């Protein structure tokens, strides 16, 4: 971990707007989306790795991953190039944990941010000015 991010708390609680709450609730109600989120929680994964690990059908996996990225529940952590020169992305879950609670006619959603992608992004940003 770089010196710029060593003081970041291990648990960053997020403030969620109503659109983000709806997206989280929709994702949690979808077993395939939950499988994809679980697969990418601790480690960035390619679509191929996600399909292999979760057994979600190929077309469904691409559609769900696109939806999760559009809703900002997954992020593209890296874009790599394979031996044939084709680009592919590694995806990582935005959240480490999500708690949903229904109380007094309100749905409360509390989420802890998965800081792994944040750390990598911050390290890359601060290393841009360094000469190797």
Three-state secondary-structure class, residue 5:
coil
Q: Which domains does the chain have, with CATH numbers?
A: 14-127 (1.10.10.10)
| Concatenated DSSP letters of 100-120 | EEEETTEEEEEEEE-HHHHHH
Nearest to 60 by CA among 47, 76, 41, 72: 47
Sheet holding 12-14, edge to edge: 12-14, 106-113, 95-103
> How does pLDDT run across 58-82, given as a tens digit for each residue?
999 999 999 999 999 999 888 888 8
Is pTM, for the whole model, over 0.85?
no
User: CB–CB of 87/80 below 8 Å?
Assistant: yes
> How does pLDDT run across 112-126, given as a tens digit for each residue?
888 665 555 555 555
């Amino acid at each position: 971990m770089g010196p710029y991010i060593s003081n970041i708390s291990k648990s960053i609680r997020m403030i969620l707007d109503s659109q983000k709450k709806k997206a989280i609730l929709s994702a949690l109600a979808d077993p395939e989306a939950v499988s994809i989120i679980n697969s990418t929680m601790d480690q960035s994964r390619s679509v191929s790795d996600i399909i292999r690990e979760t057994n979600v059908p190929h077309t469904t996996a691409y559609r769900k991953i696109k939806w999760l990225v559009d809703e900002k529940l997954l992020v593209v952590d890296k874009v790599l190039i394979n031996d044939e020169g084709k680009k592919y992305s590694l995806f990582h879950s935005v959240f480490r944990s999500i708690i949903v609670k229904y109380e007094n006619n309100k749905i409360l959603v509390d989420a802890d941010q998965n800081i792994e992608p944040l750390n990598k992004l911050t390290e890359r940003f601060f290393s841009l000015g360094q000469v190797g």
